[in-house]
Amino acid sequence: EAGVVQSPRYKIIEKKQPVAFWCNPISGHNTLYWYRQNLGQGPELLIRYENEEAVDDSQLPKDRFSAERLKGVDSTLKIQPAELGDSAVYLCASSLTTSGFQETQYFGPGTRLLVL
């Protein structure tokens, strides 16, 4: 079974430029998560999708970040414009559902973003 796929794996951009990350979850997983992980910290949730609906985006900085999950499968996370403080690893994860809060989340390899 293929795992969570993310691209690109690495991205270097100058500040104020836009950037986009793509994620394809494990087949059949309804729930998709975007996390940001800063160096030396644990992942922090940015947004959670149940199928195509964003059910928790309270931690997403909406002035510059946007996300979509058209058709409830793959997802794109965008930053426009990027700031120096956005340098981090952006992780996508998926799970079957969130019913009972016991569903295991499986992480993709992440996209390492460096903003210069």
Partner 1 sequence: QKEVEQNSGPLSVPEGAIASLNCTYSDRVSQSFFWYRQYSGKSPELIMSIYSNGDKEDGRFTAQLNKASQYVSLLIRDSQPSDSATYLCAVNKNDMRFGAGTRLTVKP
Radius of gyration of the chain from Cα atoms? Answer: 13
Among the listed residues 21, 33, 34, 49, the single contact to partner 1 using CB under 8 A? 33
| 22 contacts partner 1 (rule: CB under 8 A) | no
For residue 109, state whether it binds partner 1 (rule: CB under 8 A).
Answer: yes
Among 32, 67, 105, 113, binds partner 1 (CB under 8 A): 105
* Of the candidates 11, 9, 13, 6, the residue with the CA atom closest to the CA atom of residue 82: 13
CA distance 19 to 101: 32
Q: Are 23 and 5 in contact (CB under 8 A)?
A: yes
Under rule CB under 8 A, residue 102 binds partner 1: yes
The residues of the shown chain that bind partner 1, judged by CB under 8 A, are 33, 40-45, 48, 56, 91, 100-102, 104-110
